[in-house]
């Protein structure tokens, strides 16, 4: 059976009929489909869907081909269409997640493996730029830090609290230098630029601490897939894959031999992530140091607690949970629209 007479056409956003067809088609391959993509293309033979692919930012996803047409070059055609469409929007670097048994197919099409989390997922990339380039950049940015034991932290800080400060301060005491990577994915209520600024201001007095953007390889849409795994496998794939990327690539680039984290009694995903790090990172020579949560007024300090107090307008309580720099930011008139947005939101992030 040939695919040469297939018709390829974009799926208009909001087209519920076509979306349902794609959803049913992908389900046959253990994949899921949602509207959180920027672009989707379908390949049709006699008006029947035989292949599909989507793009969300730099991530090429939901790529599936009718079994009878596999091995005929149709996968390459889907990828080529998505890459050309991405180029029209100025995107020239791409990630793909796939199952371990299908990774060789994409490697044969020019993608390179970054990391894998058996038996769940493999992360690959292609195009301009690579994780090797990213790691060279990181190494250059920390080259002037003091020699000796170096620790790393990955933080979201939505917003920066005294709990975050306590973990960083401990790492700074116990190591010659510390690198703090702030999650760059902009899916939190507080914008990335503000979160980065608040961390820098909150640790400005710690001379051996360097604060950097986390980049696209640290807890991002690239390293946290949730669309091709189901149930508990989602969390396992997400946490293990991100830990593998950090241990295999990021830690060596930073020269870090320890990673500090706060204990997590509330969020199951974060707790699972801590467990994944404790399993994976020692395999790469990175010790995981878990610090118990700081408590104020007999309650754990957390960013989610701060956001809840914002909704309650309890500024006295907030002032006991955050550094003065964060408090000043929260009370600034220029951030009043953000505060109102937080009050109106029930988002956990």
Contacts of 199 (CB under 8 A, 6+ apart): 155, 157, 160, 164, 180, 182, 211
Residue 229 confidence (pLDDT): 41
Contact predicate 40/14, CB 8 Å: no
| pLDDT, tens digit (0-9, with 9 covering 90-100), for 108-121 | 999 999 999 888 88
Tokens of 348: 């956990």
Q: What is the CA angle 2-4-6, rounded to 5?
A: 100
Q: Where are the alpha helices (DSSP H) in the chain?
A: 16-27, 74-88, 103-108, 131-142, 162-174, 192-202, 232-245, 251-254, 268-280, 303-312, 315-319, 324-331, 336-344
Instruction: Check residue 36 and give its pLDDT.
Output: 75
What pLDDT, on the 0 to 100 scale, is given for residue 281? Answer: 97
Q: Using the 8-state DSSP alphabet, how is residue 294 labeled?
A: P
Contacts of 57 (CB under 8 A, 6+ apart): 38, 91, 221
Regions of the chain where pLDDT drops below 50: 1, 227-230
Domains of the chain (ranges plus CATH)?
7-91 (3.40.630.30), 133-344 (3.40.50.620)
Q: Give the C-alpha separation, 315 to 12, whole Å.
A: 46
CA 99 to CA 74: how far, in whole Å? Answer: 18
- Can you tell me which residue has the tokens 């974060």? 270
Residues 265, 327: Cα–Cα separation, whole Å:
25
In 34-79, where do the E strands start and end?
A: 39-45, 48-56, 59-65
The answer to whether the predicted template modeling score (pTM) of the entire model surpasses 0.75 is yes
Burial class of residue 195 in the structure, from the number of CB atoms within 10 Å of its CB (0-12 exposed, 13-18 middle, 19+ buried):
buried
Q: What is the pLDDT of residues 234-291, one digit of tens each?
A: 777 778 888 999 999 999 999 999 999 998 766 667 777 888 899 999 999 999 999 9
- Beta bridge mates, 291: 262
């Amino acid at each position: 059976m040939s695919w040469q007479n297939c018709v390829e056409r974009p799926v208009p956003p909001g087209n519920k009929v076509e979306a349902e067809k794609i959803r049913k088609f992908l389900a046959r391959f253990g994949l899921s489909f949602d509207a959180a993509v920027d672009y989707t293309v379908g390949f049709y033979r006699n008006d029947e869907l035989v292949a599909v692919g989507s793009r969300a930012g730099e991530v090429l996803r939901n790529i599936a081909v009718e079994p009878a047409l596999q091995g005929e070059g149709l996968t390459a055609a889907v990828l080529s269409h998505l890459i050309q469409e991405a180029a029209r929007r100025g995107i020239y670097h791409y990630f793909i997640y796939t199952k371990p048994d299908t990774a060789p197919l994409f490697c044969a099409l020019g993608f390179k493996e970054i990391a894998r989390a058996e038996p769940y997922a493999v992360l690959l990339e292609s195009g301009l730029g690579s994780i090797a380039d990213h790691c060279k950049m990181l190494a250059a940015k920390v080259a002037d830090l003091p020699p000796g034991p170096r620790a790393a932290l990955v933080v979201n800080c939505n917003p920066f609290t005294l709990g975050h400060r306590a973990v960083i301060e401990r790492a700074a005491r116990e190591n010659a230098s510390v690198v703090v990577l702030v999650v760059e994915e902009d899916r939190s209520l507080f914008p990335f630029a503000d979160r980065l600024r608040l961390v820098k201001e909150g640790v400005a007095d710690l001379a051996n601490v360097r604060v950097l953007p986390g980049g696209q390889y640290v807890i991002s849409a690239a390293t946290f897939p949730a669309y091709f795994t189901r149930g508990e496998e989602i969390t396992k794939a997400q946490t293990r894959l991100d830990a593998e990327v950090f241990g295999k690539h990021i830690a060596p680039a930073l020269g870090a031999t320890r990673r500090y984290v706060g204990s997590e009694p509330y969020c199951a995903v974060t707790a699972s992530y801590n467990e994944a790090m404790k399993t994976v990172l020692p395999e790469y020579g990175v010790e995981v140091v878990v610090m118990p949560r700081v408590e104020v007024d007999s309650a754990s300090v957390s960013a989610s607690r701060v956001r809840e107090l914002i909704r309650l307008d309890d500024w006295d309580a907030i002032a006991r949970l955050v550094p003065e720099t964060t408090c000043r930011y929260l009370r600034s008139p220029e951030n009043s629209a953000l505060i109102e947005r937080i009050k109106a939101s029930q988002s956990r992030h």
